[in-house]
Amino acid sequence: MSQALENTQTPDSSAYMISNEPFYLPVGDEKPLFTAAYNARLPVMLKGPTGCGKTRFVQHMAYKLGRPLVTVSCHEDLFASDLLGRYLLKDDETVWVDGPLSRAVRMGAICYLDEVVEARKDTTVVIHPLTDDRRILSLDKKGEVVEAHPDFLLVVSYNPGYQSVVKDLKQSTRQRFVCLEFEYPSQEDEAKIVEKEGGVDEETALSLVGLAHRIRNLREQGLAEGASTRLLIYAAQLIRQGISPKNACLTSMCLPITDDPGLSETIFDLIEDLF
């Protein structure tokens, strides 16, 4: 009886609620589009470069919609059982423990699969029945089919810059989602974000954003990924802690994004010119 009770209990959603509003500055019509998708219970795909605000956007919308948020950071060793759940030994009994996706489905949460393209192909297949009119989740090991809570919504994200033949979303998966495309904000908006999140003055924020735009232009010279808004905030937070702007930018906006000596030297020269 104890096992059956645990199997059917709805998880407590309070632990997954976001209590304080995450700061998010809209750069387009992503907020009304996401709200419309949520109202229609359409699964949402977010695509855009690293550190451009996709995760913060999901957190912000979960807060605005008043829904619990379950986040899963996907990786190549993520198995279906990691999402669905598994049987575990507890007090000499074998009991079923729901995975994060199963918990989200039962409680009516927003389930966010971050960088879904990193997950194993045989793992992403388990989300397919949740992304059409069936809205069900099959727990084969348990012999249970779970109907999604009316408020459940599936959201996935990925970085198109990392696409390859090996790591890409199948068309059978892609065409189950509506898609919102993200880019880095305009220089003015990005400076506002860095000023707010990094705790620096407007002039410093504008300087950091200007540097980031110069670094992003180096993609034509072979830089795989430019300095993200996240890294700008890191640099600002270091400056706020008393680190010199030059060292803060070297630590946050040069060394993390490339190991190539030539590109590192070029970025360092840009930092030297600005500071």
Pairing of β 136-139 and β 93-98: unpaired
Cross-strand partners of 258: none
Asked if the model's pLDDT at residue 3 lies above 50, the reply is no
Tens digit of each residue's pLDDT (9 = 90 or more) over 175-214: 999 999 999 999 999 999 999 999 999 999 999 999 999 9
pLDDT confidence tier of residue 2, bands split at 50, 70 and 90: very low
CATH class, 2-181 region: alpha beta
Percent of the chain whose pLDDT exceeds 90: 75
Q: Residue 120 CA to chain centroid, in angstroms?
A: 17
Residue reference for tokens 């759940």 = 85
Tens digit of each residue's pLDDT (9 = 90 or more) over 156-184: 999 887 654 456 778 888 899 999 999 99
Burial 227-239 (b: 16+ CB within 10 A, else e): bbbbbbbbbbbbb
Asked if the model's pLDDT at residue 221 lies above 90, the reply is no
Domain ranges of the chain: 2-181, 187-274
Give this prediction's pTM: 0.89
Query: Average per-residue pLDDT in the chain?
Result: 91
The CA distance from 14 to 6, in Å, is 18
Tens digit of each residue's pLDDT (9 = 90 or more) over 98-133: 999 999 999 999 999 999 988 888 888 899 999 999
Asked if the model's pLDDT at residue 12 lies above 90, the reply is no
Top pLDDT among 225 and 129 is at: 129
Tell me the three state secondary structure of residue 95. Answer: strand
Please classify residue 257 by burial: count the beta carbons closer than 10 Å to its beta carbon, then call 0-12 exposed, 13-18 middle and 19+ buried: buried
